[in-house]
Each structure stands twice: as C-alpha cells, then as structure tokens.
Amino acid sequence: MNYSPLQKARYEYQPKLPLILQNDINNIEVCYGNATQSVADQDKIKEMFPNTYGMKTISFKKGSSKAKKDGQVVGVILSGGQAPGGHNVITGLYDALKKSNPNNVLLGFKGGPSGLLDDDYIEFTDEFINEYRNTGGFDIIGSGRTKLETVEQFKVVAEVAKKHSLNAIVIIGGDDSNTNAAVLAEYMAATNSGVQVIGCPKTIDGDLKNDVIEVSFGFDTACKTYSELIGNIERDANSAKKYWHFIKVMGRSASHIALECALECQPNICLVGEEVEAKNQSMMDIVKYIADVVEARSAKGLNYGVAIVPEGLIEFIPEVKVLIAEINELLAVHEKDYAVLGTWEDQFNFVISNLTSNSAAVFKNLPVDIQHQLLMDRDPHGNVQVSRIETEKLLITMVAKELKDRGSKAKFSALNHFFGYEGRCAFPSNFDADYCYSLGYNAFLLISNGLTGYMSTVTNLSAGPSNWEAGGIPITKMMNLERRHGEFKPVIRKALVELDGKPFKYFEAHRKEWAENTCFTFPGAIQYYGPAEVCDITTRTLAIEQGN
C-alpha cells in the first residue's frame, strides 16, 4: 500500500491522554460518585433495566488499583455512521489492554453489530493496528446499523462471547447504538453471563451530549472539514459576487453541525431546526425570511450569499414534522400492505388516503422528488433518512418562486451543495485523535474495574488534554421513552441545540449583521502540525459553552 506523506506523519503522532490516565494502570483507582436516574420516564426505565438502572457515576484518582488486569478478552464493534477518530478509540483500548498485560486479547467484530451476530471477527495485533493509528474512517473493521434488540439476537451474542471467552464488549456508536449497548448490558447482567458492555460516544452530529458527555467524537473534525469548504465557497461567492450558495450539512436531527459551521464561517443565513420548531415557523415563514435577506442584500448591490441548511431541518418544520410522524406510523403499521404496491401512483394514493387531511394537503404540495424522498425506507432504527431529502434544493425553488411572486428585482442565481459524507472519514483533528484515544484507553479502565452498562467519558475538554478528566456514566441515566416503529422504546435522549444556550445566543446576536453585510470568516483546512492555537483548538461551540 502507498501512504500519503500526511498518513506517514500521522502514524508517528502520539495522542495525548488526560493526566490521570498517564499514571501506571496499577496506580489508578476508581471512585464512585452519586447514584443516577434516567432523564425522564424513571419508573418505566427502571422496570426495563432492573440490573443496570441507578448505578453511580465513576471518576478516577491516583491510588491503588483493584482492577483485574489479566485474562482480559475484549470484543469491540464500530456502529452506525462513520466519525473521524473511531480508529483511535480502538488503538487506545488496545494499548491500555496490552499495557495491563500483553496476553490480554482484543477482538474486532466486523461490519457493526452484525459482526457479533455472525461471529465475524479479527484478533488485533501490533502490526495490524499500527496501520490505523490516527487515521480517519471505520475501515479497520467496518461499521453497520443493525439494531440488537431481540432476545434471540442477545442469545447469539452471548454464545459468541462464550465461544471466545469474552469478558467485555465495547460498542463505539451514537445514541441509537449506545441504546443497543444499554439493552445488551442489561441482558448480559440479567443472565449472569459475566460479559460487561461499555459504550463510547460517537457521532459527527454532536447530539449525543449531556452534562458529562461534552461532545461526541468526530463532531470536531467533521465541522472543521465542512467549515473549511464553506469558507472556501464564501470566498468564491465574495469574489464572483453572482451566486447564492445553499449548503446542506449533515446532522440527522439536531442542528449542532450547522450552528458550529455558522460560528466558524459567519454566513449570511444559517437555519436552526430547533428554532424553527420552537417558533412554530412554517415552510413559508422560512422561505419568506430567506427572501427578505436576499432582497435586503440585493438592495445594497450584494446579489450573492451563503446559506447553511441543517439536514434535519425538514423534520422540525411543524407541518412536515406531523406529516413525517404520520408516514412513519403508517409505514410501520401497514408495512406489508405498502410493500406490495407496485407503482408510484398506488403508493401515492395509499399514503394520501391514510393521512389526516392537513398532512395529505402538505404532502400533495411538495415537489414529487421530495414526496419520493419522504417515503424512502427508514433506517433500522425507524428514522427517516434526512440526508437523502434535498431540502436545500426545495428551499432554492421556493425562494425563487417567492421572489417572483413578490415582483422582486433581486437577482437570485442559486447553487446547491451537500456536505455530509466528506466530513465523516477525514484524518481526525488533533482534538479528536487525543479525545478518541483517551475514550478507548478509559474504556479499558472501566472494564478492568468490573463495570458494565457505562459510557466512557472524558470531560473538561476545552481546557486541553492535561486538564481532561476521565470517568464513566451509566447509560440508563441518558434514557427516556420515545416512539419508534409505532411503539414506545427506551432510547438515549438526543441532545438538541438549546435555544437558551450560549452558542445559539451568540449566533442570534450576530446573525442580522452577518445577513445584511458580508462578514465571512475563512477557517481554512485542519492543521495537524504547527502552533497549538491553530492545531489543538476545539469547536467554537465547546469554547463558547465552556467560556473560553
């Protein structure tokens, strides 16, 4: 294999650990904090997780370790969408495990949760793992979106674990995948299988977040990658002065990525799904707002601009949200009836006749492409696949029509972009390389201390690795009940953009100025080498949240 100069250089990078994890593993002592409760639906979640509910928070201090260091056989999976840094979680876990005892074993199950069901695995060796240090992607073992939820599946996992004498499984994933981790941990505890389950918080979307998970890994690198591209487009727009660029960025539900890119690039418009929902803004309200900005800039001779559109916006627009919920329910309940419909006309009529009159009217008014996209298969967790709905094109069409209806003289020549997959496998930024390595290393400490049903946590993240703190949080603490596939299920609550949070408030205070004038900022490409204030900075969101 040929390596790029950067890949060769990144192999030499030594990720930084929090000070506590730099101690000899024998000198790291586990500390138990307060007992926890789920964020909502406490009684029901407690009933569903009798063995893993209410556990204490975990931190570590220098002291004498009672951890089990030998005979550790750990399995690991990558689950869900790719996020930069996943390889470093595995290398951190591997290094801690081998440091503890070189005879300890790490198995990587391939292709996500299905690797555990199919017993498709590799045993990591130094030679193999070294090829993946500090690199992007999930290709070390691959990923997948299979949901582990049935007792039959758990039994298979337990058999596979028994076959390999696994004492722990680490699930590296987002909110849905860590929901899988919690359910699996409960099953393993209830059946006295002796298998511990530990989660690691991954997702570029940044919506796996709470008081102890300050950010999910991959968010930093993905946002920096998108922001570089958005900044470049801003400079192009400012040079040519003839196009409006509508840029959809990933983030299946929450608008954290869009907001972070806006904070980094200061575009003319950034829509925030959570605000749209809170203010009950209809599709036409959004279109009118954009048209107003286009006209205001045009009046100053600025017939160009950049608008950031979060991928999840469509699900926050009240009338579309109701429509999607009705379609989800319909497709879940009438799955078989719908599957046999052969033509688009039959599908269209079936959907229209089963929707409420309001939703049927909304559906009929959407362009045919969007209608098709709203009916596409759900992902295995029951989510509509928003990355495949072309909201940015829909907005361009509707804004152009609105300007025409107004008899506007504004020139509106618009181009659409979608930045999604290109951000998910970049070489992890120094922040993500360090954070992920620490999460993996820390996961081993949770395992060796006999814990299960926990998520690995590293906190105080804007203060630099030497000030980071390591620990664990019970996954059930983050759970509530949500409607999925037509039933209520226990899931980790998604962290949406908080409209009274400091990052949104900062954006809100500046957006008028950014809309009417041209205040673009150009973050440039991720820098891996050079001054710390360029290379080691984290996101604006985290910096603003933590007052740095």
Amino acid identity for residue 413 in this structure: S
What SS3 state is found at 164?
coil
- Rule CB under 6 A: say whether 250 interacts with ligand FBP: yes
Coil, helix or strand at residue 469: strand
Q: How far is CA 60 from CA 203, 456, 458, in A?
A: 25, 12, 11
Nearer to ligand FBP, 84 or 174 (CB): 174
CA distances from 514 to 139, 297, 302, 519 (A): 40, 11, 13, 5
Binding test (CB under 6 A) with ligand FBP, winner from 387, 397, 480, 521? 387
Give the torsion through C-alpha atoms of 491, 496, 502, 505, to 10 deg: -160
The CB-of-383 to ligand FBP minimum distance in angstroms stands at 8
147 binds ligand FBP (CB under 6 A): no
Tell me: is residue 204 an annotated ligand-binding position.
yes
Under the binding rule (CB under 6 A), the answer on residue 252 touching ligand FBP is yes
**CB neighbours of 395 closer than 8 A, spacing ≥ 6?**
246, 286, 287, 290, 307, 309
522 near 187, Cβ under 8 Å? no
* Closest among 443, 472, 474 to 459, alpha carbons compared: 472
Is 3 assigned to a binding site? no
Residues 6+ apart with CB under 8 A from 117: 146, 148, 153, 156, 157, 160
The single residue of 176, 205, 220, 434 carrying the catalytic annotation is 205
SS (H, E, C) 228-282: HHHHHHHHHHHHHCCCEEEEEECCCCCCHHHHHHHHHHCCCEECCHHHHHHCCCC
Q: Binding residue for ligand FBP (CB under 6 A) from 144, 251, 267, 273?
A: 251
> C-beta of 481: minimal distance to ligand FBP in Å?
20
What's the min distance (Å) between Cβ of 521 and ligand FBP?
Answer: 24
Is residue 421 annotated as involved in ligand binding?
yes
Using CB under 6 A, pick the residue from 386, 473, 479, 542 that binds ligand FBP. 386
508: enclosing H helix or E strand: helix 502-516
Binding positions for ligand FBP, 291-320, rule CB under 6 A? 311
Report the C-alpha gap between 495 and 497 in whole angstroms.
7
Supply the minimum distance, in Å, between the C-beta of residue 498 and ligand FBP: 19
Distance from C-alpha of 198 to C-alpha of 167, rounded to nearest angstrom: 11
Q: Which positions from 202 through 241 interact with ligand FBP, judged by CB under 6 A?
A: 203-205
Residue 251 labeled ligand binder: yes
Q: Name the segment binding ligand FBP (CB under 6 A); options: 250-258, 324-332, 394-402, 463-471.
A: 250-258
Measured in residues, the chain has a length of 548
Among 18, 80, 112, 490, binds ligand FBP (CB under 6 A): 80
Stretch that binds ligand FBP, among 6-14, 75-83, 121-129, 151-159 (CB under 6 A): 75-83
Nearer to ligand FBP among residue 207 and residue 402 (C-beta): 207
Q: How far is CA 106 from CA 47, 168, 237, in A?
A: 33, 10, 50
Neighbours of 459 (CB within 10 A): 18
Structure tokens at 131: 């090829």
Strand partners, 217: 202
Number of residues in contact with ligand FBP under rule CB under 6 A: 14
Query: Which range of residues in 21-29, 68-76, 244-252, 439-447 is near ligand FBP by CB under 6 A?
Result: 244-252
Give CA–CA dist 165/74, Å, rounded: 9
Whichever of 42 and 387 has its CB closer to ligand FBP, that residue is: 387
Per the annotation, does 99 bind a ligand?
no
* CA dist., res. 225 & res. 7, Å (int): 17
Residue 205 bears catalytic tag: yes
Candidates 97-105, 200-208, 235-243, 284-292; binding stretch for ligand FBP (CB under 6 A): 200-208
Give the residue with the Cβ less far from ligand FBP, 228 or 311: 311
φ, ψ dihedrals at 150, nearest 5°: -95, 155
Q: Which is nearer to ligand FBP, 169 or 258 (CB)?
A: 258
Question: Does residue number 83 form part of the binding site for ligand FBP (CB under 6 A)?
Answer: yes
Among the residue ranges 197-205, 228-236, 269-277, 468-476, the one whose residues contact ligand FBP (CB under 6 A): 197-205
Kindly state the smallest distance separating residue 79's Cβ from ligand FBP, in Å: 7
In the window 408-437, what residues touch ligand FBP (CB under 6 A)?
424
59 near ligand FBP (CB under 6 A): no
Which residues are known binding-site members for Mg(2+)? 175
Q: Which residues are catalytic?
A: 205
Which residues are known binding-site members for diphosphate? 81
List contacts with ligand FBP (CB under 6 A): 80-81, 83, 174, 203-205, 250-252, 311, 386-387, 424
Which residues are known binding-site members for substrate? 203-205, 242-243, 250-252, 311, 421-424
Which residues are known binding-site members? 81, 175, 203-205, 242-243, 250-252, 311, 421-424
